[in-house]
Amino acid sequence: MPEFPYSRLRRWPDVEADNLQAHDATDLLLVGRALALDVPGSQIAVIGDEYGAITLALTDAGRHDIRVHQDLATGRRALARNAEELGLDGFVAHELDAALLAGARLVLLQLPKSLAELEEIADAVARWAAPDAVLIAGGRVKHMTLGQNEVLARSFARVQAERAERKSRLVVASEPLPVPAEPPFPVTAQHDGLTLVAHGGAFAGPRLDIGTRVLLEVLGLSSPRSLSEEAEGHRDETPSPGEVPDRDEAFRLAPLRSTRSTTGRTVVDLGCGTGALAVSYALAHPDARVIATDRSAAAVASARATAAANGVGDRVVVTHDDAASELSDASADVVLLNPPFHLGSSVHTGAATRLFEAAARLLRPGGELFTVYNSSLNYRAELTRLVGEAEQLHRTSKFTVTRSIRR
Ligand SMILES: C[S@@+](CC[C@H](N)C(=O)[O-])C[C@H]1O[C@@H](n2cnc3c(N)ncnc32)[C@H](O)[C@@H]1O
């Protein structure tokens, strides 16, 4: 049988670049192992297939009715497009739920970035898959930690790490353990009047991200007193060398209190995570129409649960989408954005730029984009170019908050 044409796969609509591929050595290892085990497709579940390489290579090899769960809307669209391009079908997409895993005897997993996400997945496999299910998890060696094995060992009696091949490694987890009556996720935390609910894969978990706090404070959506009393913050970043984190300076600022009426305004929380910005806005402005949107299914489920937990479930619409592509041009009066930030990753600026472009598309002329970002990134020129003059509302060594008025 000819080798599966991995190089024909595309990442689109995710960020594409010459140095970024739509498959990696881990995909090849997982596919090779699954084919060697000779399990029928209807008993295989694939989780975290980034752009469809695993699902499509197995489908191409005659494994039909594979069930697949991808967290990202971009990954789901890439899989659908790659499948169409290659003329392959016969797999079924699911959320991370019982239907994905019922009766599955082989679960293939591209290891997620966070341990919390892995914990939710491992529990789901132990809870819903066949009693003799084997979970084969793979990742790039440089991203793998012993903590991942420890998390797997909470749900499986046997966890065996294999030798690395081409800088990737498989970990085989078997003999699922009895699960607690209630799944470990979602988890909930209180933040002085705001309840955050988080699934494992949601940014910052149930914590209020420190950048989000600063933006909330600048917008007058939370009290400085409550913020400074908050427990330890979190952000998926590494401080710049020599940078001294100064939490207090971030909290000494005058909130911006808009005098404009918010009645009938459409406000979009772009990349909503657990929904902290959208729900805070909805609580403070009962007459506004609030839309929260994220490309992560874990974020979407979390934001819906956060809205419900704060009594605004009927006033915050949450959508699973890539860069709000399903919302109309010039349909928003305000966009709130805490863009993704992954230091050291080749995609970090591309991911933020995509959301600035989306904000420019969504806002009506005169509409406002409020953004918080790490001060070292200096996005102001890009925001001005893509959206409109970016006014600096607040700046510390760590965070900058800007308002751009759509030209
Ligand atoms: C830094 S987090 C901020 C989350 C939340 N707004 C907060 O302040 O806590 C960035 C969020 O953007 C989402 N995101 C990244 N790229 C996206 C895209 N193309 N479309 C939609 N959401 C995206 C991520 O999934 C993540 O939840």
Same fold across 6-176 and 187-405: yes
Q: Is 298 in the pocket of ligand 1 (CB under 6 A)?
A: no
Q: What is the CA(336)–ligand 1 centre distance, in A?
A: 11
Q: Is 30 in the pocket of ligand 1 (CB under 6 A)?
A: no
Question: Distance between CA atoms of 51 and 59, rounded to whole angstroms?
Answer: 14
3-class SS of residue 378: coil
Q: Is 272 in the pocket of ligand 1 (CB under 6 A)?
A: yes
Q: What is the CA(89)–ligand 1 centre distance, in A?
A: 30
Q: Could you state, in order of their start, the residue ranges of all structural domains in the chain?
A: 6-176, 187-405
Question: Distance between CA atoms of 266 and 291, rounded to whole angstroms?
Answer: 7
Q: Is 235 in the pocket of ligand 1 (CB under 6 A)?
A: no
Across the range 250-262, mean pLDDT stands at 55
Which of 191, 212, 294 has most ligand 1 atoms within 8 Å of its beta carbon, as the pocket-test mutant? 294
Question: Distance between CA atoms of 180 and 184, rounded to whole angstroms?
Answer: 8
| pLDDT per residue as tens digits for the range 15-50 | 888 889 999 999 999 999 999 998 999 999 999 999
Question: Distance between CA atoms of 304 and 317, rounded to whole angstroms?
Answer: 8
Query: What's the mean pLDDT when you consider all of the chain?
Result: 91
Q: Is 14 in the pocket of ligand 1 (CB under 6 A)?
A: no
Query: Does 255 have pLDDT greater than 80?
Result: no
Count, in order, helices (H) and strands (E) of the chain: 13, 16
Which of 236, 293, 355, 372 has most ligand 1 atoms within 8 Å of its beta carbon, as the pocket-test mutant? 355
Q: Is 352 in the pocket of ligand 1 (CB under 6 A)?
A: no
Q: What is the CA(250)–ligand 1 centre distance, in A?
A: 21
Burial class from Cβ neighbours inside 10 Å (0-12, 13-18, 19+) for residue 76 reads buried
| pLDDT per residue as tens digits for the range 262-281 | 778 999 999 999 999 999 99
What is the DSSP pairing of strand 316-320 with strand 390-395? unpaired
Per CATH, which fold does 6-176 belong to? Rossmann fold (3.40.50)
Question: Distance between CA atoms of 347 and 383, rounded to whole angstroms?
Answer: 18
Contact 283, 307 (CB under 8 A): no
Question: Distance between CA atoms of 280 and 222, rounded to whole angstroms?
Answer: 8
Specify the ligand 1 atom closest to the Cα of 202. 27
Ligand 1, atom 27, lies closest to the CA of 273
Q: Tell me which of 2.60.120.380, 3.30.2350.10, 3.40.1050.10, 3.40.50.150 is the CATH number of domain 187-405.
A: 3.40.50.150
Question: Distance between CA atoms of 262 and 334, rounded to whole angstroms?
Answer: 10
Across the range 132-139, mean pLDDT stands at 98
Q: Which of 183-192, 346-355, 374-383 bottoms out in mean pLDDT, i.e. has the lowest? A: 346-355
Q: What is the CA(304)–ligand 1 centre distance, in A?
A: 15
> Per residue, what are the HEC states of 271-326?
CCCCCHHHHHHHHHCCCCEEEEEECEHHHHHHHHHHHHHCCCCCCEEEEECCCCCC
| pLDDT per residue as tens digits for the range 215-249 | 999 999 985 544 434 333 444 443 333 333 333 34
Query: Does 339 have pLDDT greater than 50?
Result: yes
Q: What is the CA(216)–ligand 1 centre distance, in A?
A: 16
Q: Is 323 in the pocket of ligand 1 (CB under 6 A)?
A: yes
